[in-house]
Amino acid sequence: IVAVYDTGIHNGAPYIVTEFLEGQTLRRLIAQGPISPKKTAEYARQIAYGLVAAHEKGIVHRDLKPENIFITKDDRVKILDFGIAKLTSLPTASSEEETIALMTTQTKVGSVLGTVAYMSPEQLRGQTVDHRSDIFSTGSIIYEMLTGQRAFSGETEVDTMTSVLKDDPPEVTSLRQGIPPVFEQIVRHCLEKDPQQRFQSARDLA
């Protein structure tokens, strides 16, 4: 996960100081063509372990997509943009100010946030989401790394949402030669519509 070193306000504008990253987003990498199964497995493993760290702190990202995955020049994965992340459980706050800060990260049930092509069905429905929603999004990302195509798409945003809710994407192995069948099994397990049927933790996925 991208490191945050400092926060503050300068001339009335809030700022965040993060580590400087050199490389490119996964979106730009995929734009060059599908990624090899070996490299996909390595990137997916790093994403999963990043999610392990977040989920163990009670944080659900809720907006995982290739634009928010950064690949450094030495092939390290960094998960970016926790702007709509949600705390599934509130850590103990040591002051009233910290309690308020923690509570502002909670969003009401019924609101839909994120990029629809990578959102879980329960998130699209505005239902309460947990860490398994991130696992669905990760499955969509793995699918796209392997095939160069989105798992779910449509002519409009509504069409894309309907695809996520109702459709199963074409098999990975039907879109690209030489993909080991186990990749298909992993992706399908991530993309189950019912969160109870998915990997139950990012550690299991890793």
Active site residues: 63
Query: Residue for token digits 């459709």?
Result: 167
> CB–CB of 33/191 below 8 Å?
no
> CB–CB of 184/143 below 8 Å?
no
Q: In Å, what is the CA distance from 34 to each residue of 26, 37, 39, 45, 175?
A: 11, 9, 10, 17, 11
Single-letter residue type at 147 = T
Residues 6+ apart with CB under 8 A from 203: 48, 52
